[in-house]
Amino acid sequence: MVLSMLWLPAVPWQKVACMARDWSGAMKQRTNGLWQRLKRADLFILLAIALVIGGAWLFIEVADEVNEGATAAIDQRLLLSLRNPADPSDPLGPLWVEEGMRDVTALGGGAILLLITTSVVGYLIIQRRYRAALLVTLAVVGGSLLSQLLKETFGRPRPDLVPHGMHVYTTSFPSGHSMSAAATYLTLAALLTRFQPRRRLQLYIMVLALLITGLVGISRVYLGVHWPTDVLAGWTAGAVWAALCGLVMSWLQHRGEIEQTPVEEQTTRGAEDEANNSG
């Protein structure tokens, strides 16, 4: 047995070790390449795509449940939870809370959104970012028109359980204030975050936009002018619209059809300088 083993050809261990090192190096190079591509991927684009898909599904589900009348019970329960149990005509809290809610709900009104949008567009024009200004205008106006179209399509009556805390003129589903606030503030936040290199500032801007959008929707239910599902649908539709506008903005900037932000210009110059130095 020993003699037969001695006659076996010697295993080329050095060659095997070299092959293993080459394979390990190739795998490491592929892994690093994949990691670099993932690092270069815009997290905003990935989140926007997920938001569009998830938001569209949620809106369709809510609309279907509303049309079937399956949300009537929970809508009534949530609406009345913001009212004095002894007097449903009286919203919870002192008078200054009710007045404050009227102030908050104005942040989703046409006049305030027009003022904010005009201010931002004017700033972009002064900065000679004409195409970005046009895209912001189309995004906000398009969101408002889409809200009106959805309202006409569904034609849901306004709540009649409690007196309305302000005058209303349109149908209920989806909430126009909630949708317009989401479409406007989230679109502007997506634009502003591209001007900020620091993640903390980007996060602050996006959280602030979400907070304002959320408060506008809550104020609509508090004032008794919308069912909670109207607001949920408005939030969802507005967020989907803002995400779509953000994707279009990123795509056009990638193609060079929209002016780069200062952060992107600095990144481009840094990459060019690095390429020139290495060359």
43-68 and 176-193 helices, crossing angle to 10°: 170
Q: Which of 238, 272, 259, 271 is nearest to 194 (CA)?
A: 259
Asked if residue 169 is part of any domain, the answer here is yes
- 16, pLDDT greater than 60: no
Q: Give the structural domain span for 68.
A: 46-78+93-265
Position with higher pLDDT, 253 vs 173 = 173
List the structure tokens of 6: 């001695």
Residues 6+ apart with CB under 8 A from 263: 194, 195, 196, 197
Asked if residue 275 is part of any domain, the answer here is no
Assign 149 a pLDDT band (cuts: 50, 70, 90): very high
Residues 6+ apart with CB under 8 A from 182: 213, 234, 235, 237, 238, 239, 241, 242
Report pLDDT digits (tens) over 160-169. 888 888 888 8
Asked if residue 213 is part of any domain, the answer here is yes
Asked if residue 274 is part of any domain, the answer here is no
Residue type, 66: V
Q: Which of 164, 167, 177, 254 is the catalytic position?
A: 177
Contact 170/153 with Cβ under 8 angstroms?
no
Q: Which of 143, 144, 114, 108 is nearest to 245 (CA)?
A: 143
- 232, pLDDT greater than 60: yes
Asked if residue 18 is part of any domain, the answer here is no
Give mean pLDDT, residues 124-151. Answer: 90
Report pLDDT digits (tens) over 30-68. 555 445 544 444 666 778 888 889 999 999 999 999 999
177 classed as catalytic: yes
254 classed as catalytic: no
Give mean pLDDT, residues 172-184. Answer: 93
d(CA 132, CA 187): 12
From start to end of 49-148, where are the E strands?
Answer: 83-84, 87-91
d(CA 185, CA 136): 11
Asked if residue 84 is part of any domain, the answer here is no
Provide the 10 A C-beta neighbour count for residue 222: 24
Handedness of CA 219, 222, 223, 224 (dihedral sign): positive
Antiparallel, parallel or unpaired: β 83-84 and 87-91? antiparallel
Q: Which of 168, 166, 150 is nearest to 158 (CA)?
A: 168
- Give the distance between the most distant pair of CA atoms in the chain: 103
To the nearest 10°, the Cα dihedral for 261, 264, 266, 270?
A: -160
Give mean pLDDT, residues 59-88. Answer: 91
pTM score, whole prediction = 0.76
Q: Which of 246, 175, 164, 187 is nearest to 216 (CA)?
A: 175
Number of domains in the chain: 1
Asked if residue 13 is part of any domain, the answer here is no
d(CA 176, CA 179): 5
- As a whole number, the mean pLDDT across the chain is 81
130-154 and 43-68 helices, crossing angle to 10°: 20
Residues 6+ apart with CB under 8 A from 190: 44, 48, 206, 242, 245, 246, 249
Contact 242/48 with Cβ under 8 angstroms?
no
Task: Please tell me the predicted confidence (pLDDT) of residue 277.
Answer: 55
